[in-house]
Chain A
Amino acid sequence: EDKVVQSPLSLVVHEGDTVTLNCSYEVTNFRSLLWYKQEKKAPTFLFMLTSSGIEKKSGRLSSILDKKELSSILNITATQTGDSAIYLCAVAVGGTSYGKLTFGQGTILTVHP
């Protein structure tokens, strides 16, 4: 059974802090790892990491895939109150289950002013 675990489950910080969110996975036939941000409604896409693209960066957010440790981290520097959200990690697999996505439990990030 494919498994994705995120940690911590919740995190409270103050504006300006740097945070690191973790995602580890055990899946058969790994294809890609995805990060999404969910505010009040639907998740929105942040990054995709694959074996051929293990580091992504966009503004204050960056993510790295560690293929050896079967994990990924999402870093947010100089946090702002607008970063408060649930951060979701998901793993896509290939082979006969192409199209299957397994999500972690999510990390609830709260940024106080």
Chain B
Amino acid sequence: EAQVTQNPRYLITVTGKKLTVTCSQNMNHEYMSWYRQDPGLGLRQIYYSMNVEVTDKGDVPEGYKVSRKEKRNFPLILESPSPNQTSLYFCASSLWGSAVRTGELFFGEGSRLTVL
């Protein structure tokens, strides 16, 4: 089944404790991206990657890191989480050529992160 898988789905952590949210897709998509969703603010893009070893900042990259060593994986790293990073996080992927024609991003189920 074609899917984007995020882990963990739910996490409660404490300020300053490094964490990684993994994202994996099995559709051979070049494009992957991370978003956070907060009430009243919609989705905001954190980072995106056009292909392996190619990443770029979205609108809200501060406090986050990413890497794209393999095509299928795009982990989101919070080196020193703070309470303002409490949010719902989505990973998404697309065949970018396909996205140009259809605009279809495939989203993961979301990861709800709470930083105390």
Contact = CB atoms under 8 A, between A and B. Distances in A.
Interface of A: 2, 6, 9, 31-32, 34, 36, 41-45, 47-48, 88, 90, 92, 97-106
A101 B33 CA distance: 9
B111 to A, nearest CB: 11
B109 A41 contact: yes
B105 A45 contact: yes
Contact of A101 (B40, B58, B101): B58
A92 B94 CA distance: 13
Given A92-B99, A101-B45, A103-B42, 7 more contacts: A32-B103, A36-B105, A48-B101, A99-B49, A100-B58, A103-B44, A106-B42
A103 B40 CA distance: 12
Give chain A's interface secondary structure class.
strand
Contact of B107 (A31, A42, A92, A102): A42
26 contacts: A2-B59, A6-B42, A31-B100, A32-B100, A36-B105, A41-B109, A43-B90, A43-B105, A45-B105, A47-B103, A48-B102, A92-B99, A97-B56, A99-B31, A99-B50, A99-B56, A99-B96, A100-B45, A100-B56, A101-B105, A103-B45, A105-B40, A105-B41, A105-B42, A106-B42, A106-B43
A43 B107 contact: yes
B40 to A, nearest CB: 6
Interface residues of B, number: 28
A103 B43 contact: yes
A42 B108 contact: yes
A38 B101 CA distance: 21
Contacts of A106: 42-43
B103 A100 contact: no
Given A99-B48, A100-B45, A34 B110 contact: no
A42 B103 contact: no
A8 to B, nearest CB: 13
A31 B103 CA distance: 11
B42 A43 contact: no
Contacts of B35: 103
